[in-house]
Amino acid sequence: MVLADTDPALGRLHTAACTYRIALGPRAGQKVLTLRTDSPQAWSIPSDRCVSVQGFSLHANTFCAPTDRGKLERLCRYITRPALANGRIKVRENGDVVLKLKSPYRDGTTHIVMSPLEFLQRLAALVPRPRLNLTRYFGVLAPNAKLRAQVVPKAKEEPVAGAGEEAPERGWGQRMSWARLLKRVFDIDLEHCPHCGGQLKIISAIEDPATIGKILTHLGLSARAPPRSPAHYPAFFELD
């Protein structure tokens, strides 16, 4: 299904971002202002597992074994990194936003100058499409591709324990507990006391809403979630 049919506003932003044009505002349809250097820098291919064709680059030189939890975590952190770094964004005195490119374009472009509205349009174009996976595989890597079994490595068969022998240990790393995940993602430590630093353990998990309300009321806390403000449709997203 075409994105322009399901979400016209987001589809228009995507189209403008792909063509390096402005979608909304007084400069709609015009090219984004760019700043260039005197000598364009040529792109280099670091290895045989990297290729650049028609403006798209594929870097397949980074991989990790399923048992290497440290490298797998670094790879996941790289995939889930923010779209922009704060150090690459500057605001001029007139309010324009100057974005420094991570890698210069082939024509030597190193910076892009946008108004605040144009900058928000480019950020909105990075929003993933609804109800679609962020990672999709095509060609031989597609789920139903006939040649997928020839390019995807197979899992090693685990040895079977004989009579009177202990079962061999699995080579896969152990999954991280939910408490450690909360600590890593939200900086909420549920395993140690915030006062003495001692080890904590779960006594019970209360899921009954009525019981939760009584406990919160007894502690002097509100048992109701804070009200949410109604969503407003911004005027500059009008497509007329």
Phi, psi of 185 (to 5 degrees): -90, -50
Query: In 3D, which of 87, 67, 74 has the Cα closest to residue 156?
Result: 67
Question: In whole angstroms, what is the distance from residue 225 CA to residue 60 CA?
Answer: 46
Going 50 to 45 to 104 to 78, the CA torsion angle's sign is positive
pTM: 0.45
- Residue 121, exposed/middle/buried by CB under 10 A (0-12, 13-18, 19+)? buried
Residue 222 identity? S
pLDDT value at position 55?
65
Eight-class DSSP state of 41: P
- The DSSP annotation for 90-157 comes to EE-TTS-EEEE-SS--TT-EEEEEE-HHHHHHHHHTTSPPTTS-S----GGGSTT-TTHHHHSPPPPP
Per-residue pLDDT of the chain (240 residues; tens, 9 = 90+): 456 667 777 778 888 888 888 888 888 888 888 887 655 455 555 567 777 776 677 777 777 777 888 888 888 877 777 777 788 889 998 889 998 888 787 778 888 898 888 888 888 888 777 777 777 777 888 888 888 888 877 766 655 555 555 555 555 556 778 888 888 888 888 888 888 888 888 788 888 889 998 998 998 888 888 787 776 655 544 544
Query: In 3D, which of 78, 83, 97, 84 has the Cα closest to residue 128?
Result: 83
